Amino acid sequence: MEGKKKTNETHILVIPFPIQGHINPMVQFAKRLASKGLRVTLIATTSISKTMQAPTSSVKIETISDGFEEGEKIESTDIYLERFRVGVSQSLVDLIEKQKGYAHPPKVLVYDAFMPWALDVAQRQGLHGAAFFTQSCAVCAVYYHVHQGALKIPIQDPTTSLPSMPLLGIDDMPSFVCDTASYPSLLNLVLIQFSNFQKANWLLFNTFDKLEEEVVKWMASQWPIKTIGPTVPSMYLDKRVDDDKDYGFNLFKPNVDACMEWLGTKEIGSVVYVSFGSMASLGDEQMEELAWGLKRSNSHFLWVVRESEGIKLPNNFTDETLDKGLVVTWCPQLDVLAHKAVGCFMTHSGWNSTLEALSLGVPMVVMPQWTDQKTNAKFVIDVWQVGVRVKVDEKGIVRKEEIELCIREVMEGERGTEIKKNAARWKELAREAVDEGGSSDKNIEEFVANLVGT
């Protein structure tokens, strides 16, 4: 009773970086901490605060300014990131100062590792800091080796050998460390995660021990890391009904009813769900090949084409595929992946999408685009063996015949049977990790006990 009361008196702040793939896991983690009895405040910077769909009952939301005027145009990523750092640092100080007067002032800031400066703010204010890494351990390890100078970039060698990792071909590497010229500010963003991480009191990773066994062991031998994933809400893993169901902060408005009603009319395992996440953008030619590849596959498909991408759809495509497909601008992805009609996920292999598919036992066709996606794809195919990867031609395009072939292989082929078996096993292992007493659950319990003791 006394312990429970102490937990309830322990106040923790959680601040995500404002992009969808970072918001989702941190919101879910905040909710999980609240379910362990902590008093949790999620800090929403201005741009994301407006997108909140349904406030969670268990987590309090505080909005702070990110330092930008409404509708302000920012000239470059560098300028955005620097102004975001300055604006949010100041707002964070103001918020913490205000909350020092509360009955339960915050003790700890869980911050997105893309914002290492938040640790300095927290520690100057007398709070502890926990870095939350939103990418896989393997990808973080690559960036760590680059940051330490142990891995020279741009990577040009056909293969790279790193501690406790499978041999990585050039096409398995995060794009930023191969093509260092195209996105210098994003390369810097992923590397500065390691600028002060050793000063953080905790290092949290959205993965689970069995999933990245070797590299997790290697990291744990260097620093006291804690795996806490998958952050997929337990109701999806256990099929438990949960009254705390919401879609968190959606930067895009999901077509919930249209998707769920349409899926409800389809047979078990008959639908290919297609999405490239919140940022990837396919070229016109690639989009066209994908569209006709989906049509040729002869499966039903639910395809998320964000509003900004819609213009690239072939003119007559939706009319020609009315009986087969549904194109939406955003969907409730977890509900879609958990739906029994979905038999395969054609994905860009963003880390959240990958973890969500693994946790819900959905086989994948992977079509990685940039950032960490090629490394995730390597693990999907070679390590977890839960999917097939499309091949690109000499022009860098995946042709419609290849798309058809890969979908058929997963949906109908012999290999598909094996892949489905593996996917079911990973689903089980993911659930075990977050179930009471599982590796991630134990780590979260330990984290909470440490916090309460601070």
Residues that bind ligand UDP (CB under 6 A): 20-21, 24, 275, 277-280, 304, 330-331, 333-334, 350-353, 356
Residue type at 23 in one-letter notation: I
CA dihedral for 36, 38, 43, 49, sign (positive or negative): positive
CB of 91 to ligand UDP, least distance (A): 24
CB of 48 to ligand UDP, least distance (A): 13
364 bridge partner residues:
345, 387
Contact 312, 327 (CB under 8 A): no
CB of 437 to ligand UDP, least distance (A): 26
CB of 278 to ligand UDP, least distance (A): 3
> Is the CB of 10 or the CB of 207 nearer to ligand UDP?
207
> Is the CB of 160 or the CB of 354 nearer to ligand UDP?
354
Tokens of 351: 């880390």
Alpha carbon distance 212, 112 (integer Å): 21
| Active site annotation includes 348 | no
| Active site annotation includes 339 | no
Packing angle of the helix pair 117-124, 77-99 (nearest 10 deg): 20
> Is the CB of 39 or the CB of 266 nearer to ligand UDP?
266
Q: DSSP alpha helices (H): ranges in 69-198?
A: 77-99, 117-124, 137-147, 175-178, 184-191
CB of 280 to ligand UDP, least distance (A): 6
Contact 203, 131 (CB under 8 A): yes
Long-range contacts of 319-322 (CB under 8 A, 24+ apart): 320/295, 321/294, 321/295
Residue type at 307 in one-letter notation: E
DSSP state of 176: H
CB of 331 to ligand UDP, least distance (A): 4
Choose the catalytic residue: 22, 128, 339, 348: 22
> Is the CB of 50 or the CB of 152 nearer to ligand UDP?
50
Contact 423, 363 (CB under 8 A): yes
Contact 175, 394 (CB under 8 A): no
Report the DSSP pairing between strands 11-15 and 106-112: parallel
Choose the catalytic residue: 112, 172, 209, 372: 112
> Is the CB of 137 or the CB of 280 nearer to ligand UDP?
280
Annotated catalytic sites, by residue? 22, 112
